[in-house]
Amino acid sequence: MDRRQRRRNFELPQNAEQLKGYRALYYYRAFQYLFLAFTLLIFTINLIINFDSFSVTTTLWGFLTTITILVSLLINQSLLLEPPSKPRTVPTYLSISALLNGILFAICVTFISNHLEFNADHTHIEMLTLVLSTVLILHVASLVLLTHYYYVFLAFFVPSLISLLSLNEITITQQFTVIDFASFALYGICLVILGLMVYRRRSDYYVLVVNNQRLDTDNTLKTTEIDLLNTELSAEKQMAINIREELETNNVLLEQKVKQRTSDIESIHAKLERSHQNLEMAHETAGIASWDWDIAHRQIETSNFPQIFGYNIKNMTHYLTHLNDFIHGEDIDHVKTQMRRHLRGLDERYEATFRVYHPTERWIWVHDLGSVTQRDPVTKKPLRMVGIRRNINNEKKAEESLKLSASVFKKAAQGIFVLDDKLNYVDVNPYYLNLIESTEDQIIGRHVFDILKSSNIDSQRLNLTILRQLMSTGEFEGEIVEELQSGREIPLWMHINGIRDNHDKITQYIGIVTDLTERKASEKRLSYLETYDTLTDLPNRTYFNNLIHSYLTESPKLLNRFAVIRINLDRFRYHNEYLSHHGGDELLKKVANRLRRNNPDAVVIARLNADDFAMILEIKEDIEEIKDSCKKVLESFEAPFHIQNKELMLNVSIGVALYPEHGRQMDSLNNYAEQALLEAKRIGGNTLRIYHNENRLSTAARINLEAEIRRAITHQELSVYYQPKINAHSQTVHGFEALVRWNHPERGVIPPAQFIPLAEETSLITDIGRIVLEQTCSQIKAWENMGFADICVSVNIVVQQIQRGHLVTEVDEIIKKSGIQSHQLELEITETSLMENISEVREVLSDFHKRNIKIALDDFGTGYSSLAYLGMYSFDIIKIDRSFVSKIGQANQDAIVRAIIAMAKAMDKQVVAEGVQTQAQYDFLTAEGCDFLQGFLIAKPMPSDLATEFLEIKRLDQNAHRI
């Protein structure tokens, strides 16, 4: 685009115009100062050159010009200070002022040329040069300073240029040439063109300046904007960073939270799983099954059904349908009604107890509980129902059992009470209330002993015993006599048992009380019949023997010394026959009464048999008092008896044995008393005899004998004699009984009766027993070696051996040492030994039994409870005492022996008869089925060598018989 066109298109902006005006004013002011300087120069020149002719005009001009310049400067200054509102004011002012300056300059030049014309001297050229230089300077200055507006430049330039033509006058002498004019014209044209060019450059410059300014402003604005934007951007960037960091932090937190949540969810899940399993287990353990009935979709889900009920209802579509198949016919209506009521919303929940069929347990009781969990919001129809079913069979059974217990409790024919842990009554049954004559209100909450009178010290002591026993063992059982508040005493059998909780702490006591009043009465009656003689009302033989037994065995001893007194009526048989049966009985009654009346100090007076009476008297000081008492008995019979209007004179014989002088065993004492009685009878009756055994040893003799036995044991003076026992049926030797003998160096062979009783009282019996066992067993082995293999030897033992030694181990050792078979050895124990320590003896005997060692009950029939022993212990053999055997052939005695044999057979026991002395006895016993026979008839006890001979002879006999 060319400049002209650009100018056309480009209209100067207002502020550019103002800037140009402003600059033009500044430049013009400079031009004014220059023009003022020119004016002052002119003045100066005027003064120097020719003041007179020139000065007036010049001075006028000078003044006028100076004033013009000053006025112009003032206008200029005011315009600078306050820019004019009209845009054309400045160029107009500048044009006018420039024109005035041009005119004034032209005038000045004209003056100067006129002056030079009149003063053509040597200074002429110099002046001209000066003027031209001045003109040139002003022209150049106008070119530089006035070209903001072209016409302002022209306003000054044109008059000033024209004024130069006046200089032609000066050249009269030196006329202008064409060249001069041409130079003048060229100069003028050049400056006009230059002025135009400068003006245009300037105009362009201002446009550029303004544009620059605008651009600058724009630039500044843009920069500010950019800065603002930058600030905003960096703020936003920072914000973005912050947000990013925040986001990252949040992300991390979120991740952590997610992890946390995941772990929480997992743990909750695990917990839920555990809870679920626990619940299932609890359900299973508690016998609970759950069901979930989706009524809308006709589906039923169950858990634990097969385990608990043995069936499942999974494929059922309706809950009630399955019940038809399993439920008990009697319960079905109830269940259906309950279910329907709940489904219709009549009941808050469904609950039913009924029986279902179980494949193995038949009918079991179950409890069903359910509830609708979802209903149609509009129609209210049930959509879903859940519930549980529980096996309550055990509870039902427990309930029934409780009912039964309650009924037993109420109706029991025994008193039952329940106490708390402090022994206060909690519950009692009617029987108990009736028994203790109380009402429920009177005893519930009261202490067990409070309701009793317990007035005497014994009942208080008993209460204390019960209390102590309950505290220590939690149990009390025993017979007691309670004194009721009414003062009545009742015998009771009371059993109180502590009921313990899981920590083994007693929480309650249950007591069962049996009223023994009836039983006591009947026991009393029975015991009376058993122990009393109904004819005379005196204790009988059993009572009498039991009493002696208790005095002998109990510790501490109630009686340290006593006399066993046997009293027998002389010639009673004669009186009895005379008085007839009734009279005899009456006589016996009167005898009993007389004995009772005259012997108040007697411990007991008993009727043993027919006319046999007995008495026990305590010996307080010496035997004389016993004698006196017995004499009084004899004297009391001096008075006659009146029976059936008959007067009878009766005498008695008395035999006395003393404890402990004559013996320490009941049998011995009875025997000795009987012997003394027989002695009294033998010498004619109506007299008293005290047992006196010449052979009995004094204390000193006993001590001496004990020492001698010890010596005998160490000197091996004891040997075993063997008495054969033969088989009653085959007449072969069954074996022997080992009987100890003492080969005294001075007194010869001493029988066991003389040293065994003393040995029994000391530990010597153990040593003797061992010696006999050892000798016997080695003898059995010796016989076995000789070819007598089946020989069986019995050894006597006493209970002291069992108590004092270790008999079983001793026998084991000896059998082992000798090398015999245990069945080759038999043991004999006498009835009298068995009276004490029943359980210990029973245990030892059963140990022997286990070892295949047979046990024989020796001297059977001599004790006072022979039959009882048979039941108590397990014997294999019964040895009939020789006292029975010796009486075979006498009235009733045969029957006794026969009965013993029959009884032994019935009990599957072997029978040995000892003391067989006659062929009659032999035949009788064989005929009755006695298994083995022993006695002098067969052989006396003999030393081992003779026993061996006996065996050999018997073997020879046997062989001879066979041949």
Residues at the site binding ligand C2E, with contacts judged by CB under 6 A: 723, 739-740, 751-753, 756, 772, 796, 798, 828, 858-859, 882, 914-917, 935-936, 941
The binder of 772, among Mg ion, ligand C2E, none, by C-beta within 5 to 8 A per type, is ligand C2E
- Look at residue 633 and give the partner it binds from ligand C2E, Mg ion, none, a contact being a CB closer than 5 to 8 Å depending on partner kind: none
Task: Pick between residue 191 and residue 878 the one whose CB is nearest to Mg ion.
Answer: 878
**Residue 423: Cβ within 10 Å count:** 18
Minimal distance, residue 914 CB to ligand C2E, in Å: 6
- In the complex with ligand C2E, which residue's Cβ is closer, 390 or 725? 725
Residue 798 or 853 with smaller CB distance to ligand C2E: 798
Element (H, E) at 929: none
Q: Which residues bind Mg ion (CB under 5 A)?
A: 796, 828, 858-859, 914
Residue 756 binds which entry of ligand C2E, Mg ion, none, with Cβ cut-offs from 5 to 8 Å by kind? Answer: ligand C2E
In 3D space, the residue among 896, 892, 934, 890 whose CA is nearest the CA of residue 916 turns out to be 934
Longest dimension (CA), the chain: 247
Closer by beta carbon to ligand C2E, 640 or else 751? 751
Our CB check for ligand C2E shows the closer of 478 and 751 to be 751
Nearer to Mg ion, 584 or 935 (CB): 935
Q: Within a 10 A sphere around the Cβ of 463, how many other Cβ atoms?
A: 16
Q: Which helix (H) or strand (E) holds 238?
A: helix 178-285
- Comparing CB distances to ligand C2E, the nearer of 148 and 882 is 882
CA distance 317 to 295: 8
| 763 DSSP 8-state letter | T
State in angstroms the smallest separation of the CB of 930 from Mg ion.
Answer: 14
- Taking the least distance from each CB to Mg ion, the nearer of 667 and 858 is 858
Q: Closest approach of Cβ 416 to ligand C2E, in Å?
A: 54
Question: Residue 602 touches which of ligand C2E, Mg ion, none (CB < 5 to 8 A by kind)?
Answer: none
Q: Cβ(659)–Cβ(562) under 8 Å?
A: yes
Nearest to 922 by CA among 725, 723, 728: 728
The count of other CB atoms within 10 Å of the CB of residue 575 is: 21
* Structure tokens that stand for 681 in this block: 């009878």
Q: What is the nearest approach in angstroms of ligand C2E to the Cβ of residue 718? A: 9
- CB closer to ligand C2E out of 605 and 756: 756
Instruction: Judge contact between 869 and 847, C-beta under 8 A.
Output: no
What is the nearest approach in angstroms of ligand C2E to the Cβ of residue 772?
4
Nearer to ligand C2E, 415 or 663 (CB): 663
Query: Is there a contact between 691 and 655 (Cβ–Cβ < 8 Å)?
Result: yes
Which of Mg ion, ligand C2E, none does 915 bind, CB closer than 5 to 8 A by kind? Answer: ligand C2E
For residue 469, what are its two tokens? 């026993």
Q: Minimal distance in Å, beta carbon 624 to ligand C2E?
A: 35
Q: Buried (b) or exposed (e) across 311-339, using 16+ Cβ within 10 A?
A: bbbeebeebeebbeebbbeebbeebeebb
User: Shortest distance, CB of residue 828 to Mg ion, whole angstroms?
Assistant: 4
For residue 785, give every residue at least 6 positions away whose Cβ sits within 8 Å of its Cβ, in sequence order, or none. Answer: none
Among Mg ion, ligand C2E, none, partner that 466 touches (CB below 5 to 8 angstroms by kind): none
Complex with ligand C2E: residue 588 or 750, whichever CB lies closer: 750
Supply 322's token pair: 């399955």
Contact partner, 478, from Mg ion, ligand C2E, none, Cβ < 5-8 Å per class: none
SS3 at position 747: coil
CB of 678 to ligand C2E, least distance (A): 18
Q: Is 136 helix (H, G, I), strand (E, B) or coil?
A: helix
Instruction: Read off φ and ψ for residue 548, nearest 5 degrees.
Output: -60, -45
CB of 478 to ligand C2E, least distance (A): 40
CB under 5 to 8 A by kind: which of ligand C2E, Mg ion, none does 941 bind? ligand C2E
Tell me the two tokens of residue 819: 């090398």
Our CB check for Mg ion shows the closer of 94 and 793 to be: 793
Name the nearest CA neighbour of 693 among 754, 652, 604, 650: 754
Secondary structure in 3-state letters for 434-488: HHCCCCHHHHCCCECCCCCCCCCHHHHHHHHHHHHHHHHHCEEEEEEEEECCCCC
- CB atoms < 10 A from the CB of 462, how many? 19
CA-wise closest residue to 357 among 381, 332, 386, 384:
332
If contact means CB under 5 to 8 A according to the sort of partner, which of Mg ion, ligand C2E, none does residue 753 touch? ligand C2E
Comparison of 770 and 909: residue with beta carbon closer to ligand C2E: 770
DSSP 34: H
Q: Which tokens hold the place of 493?
A: 């059998």
Smallest distance, Mg ion to C-beta of residue 860, A: 9
CB distance 583 to 643 below 8 Å: yes
751's contact among ligand C2E, Mg ion, none, with CB below 5 to 8 A by partner kind, is ligand C2E
Which entry of ligand C2E, Mg ion, none binds 515, CB below 5 to 8 A by partner kind?
none
Counting runs of H as helices and runs of E as strands, what totals does the chain give? 30, 26
State whether residue 653 is helix, strand or coil: strand
Q: How far is the CB of 850 from ligand C2E (least distance, A)?
A: 23
Instruction: For ligand C2E, give the closer residue by CB, 863 or 935.
Output: 935
- Helices (H), ranges, 286-331: 305-309, 319-326
Q: Tell me if residue 304 falls in helix, strand or coil.
A: coil
List the single partner that 57 binds among Mg ion, ligand C2E, none, CB under 5 to 8 Å by kind: none
Q: Residue 814 binds which entry of Mg ion, ligand C2E, none, with Cβ cut-offs from 5 to 8 Å by kind?
A: none
CB of 750 to ligand C2E, least distance (A): 10
Q: Which does 436 bind (CB under 5 to 8 A by kind): ligand C2E, Mg ion, none?
A: none
Separation of alpha carbons 77 and 26, rounded Å: 9
Q: Do the Cβ atoms of 536 and 607 come closer than 8 Å?
A: yes
Q: Which does 739 bind (CB under 5 to 8 A by kind): Mg ion, ligand C2E, none?
A: ligand C2E
Closest CB 456 distance from ligand C2E, rounded Å: 50
Q: Which does 342 bind (CB under 5 to 8 A by kind): Mg ion, ligand C2E, none?
A: none
DSSP string, 608-630: EETTEEEEEEE-SS-HHHHHHHH
Between 178-285 and 150-163, two packed helices, what is the crossing angle to 10 degrees?
Answer: 170
In angstroms, give the least distance from the CB of 762 to ligand C2E. 13
CB of 881 to ligand C2E, least distance (A): 7
Q: Is 507 helix (H, G, I), strand (E, B) or coil?
A: strand
Judged by beta carbon distances under 5 to 8 A according to partner kind, the member of ligand C2E, Mg ion, none in contact with residue 146 is: none
Q: What's the closest the beta carbon of residue 558 comes to ligand C2E, in angstroms?
A: 30
**Which CB sits closer to Mg ion, 68 or 723?**
723
| CA distance linking residue 629 with residue 622, whole number of Å | 12
When the beta carbons of 335 and 772 are compared against ligand C2E, the nearer one is 772
State the Cα–Cα distance between residues 384 and 506, nearest whole angstrom: 50
Q: Give least dist CB 720 to Mg ion, A.
A: 13
Q: Which is nearer to ligand C2E, 413 or 753 (CB)?
A: 753
Question: 611 is written with which tokens?
Answer: 């006319």
* DSSP code at position 345: T
